[in-house]
Amino acid sequence: MRHKAIKPTGIGRYSSGQKRCQICEIFLNWSGLWCPCCGYRLRTRPRNVKFKAELRAFMELNGIELPAPKQQSNHQKSQMQGRI
């Protein structure tokens, strides 16, 4: 509860720097990648297509570049194909 974030007006939670814990089900003002409460990985980007587009537009307006998604290595791809 110490790190619980208040919803900003006129801007999205993720674009204001807040992160969400899926286990605690709260948004946090926290600089780390892991929840201070339960130790679960924090979500830094929205899952919903609509909100992803809003975040992308906000980042482009402010000249902030989003990091590209990680590409799977050939080893990881071959392991995934072996499971199917």
- Encode pLDDT of 34-76 as tens digits: 888 888 888 888 878 887 888 888 888 877 665 555 555 655 5
Q: What is the pLDDT of residue 44?
A: 83
- Say how far apart CA 57 and CA 55 lie, in whole Å: 5
By C-alpha distance, which of 52, 1, 53, 49 is closest to 27? 1
Element (H or E) spanning 56, and its range?
A: helix 49-61
Q: What is the pLDDT of residue 82?
A: 56
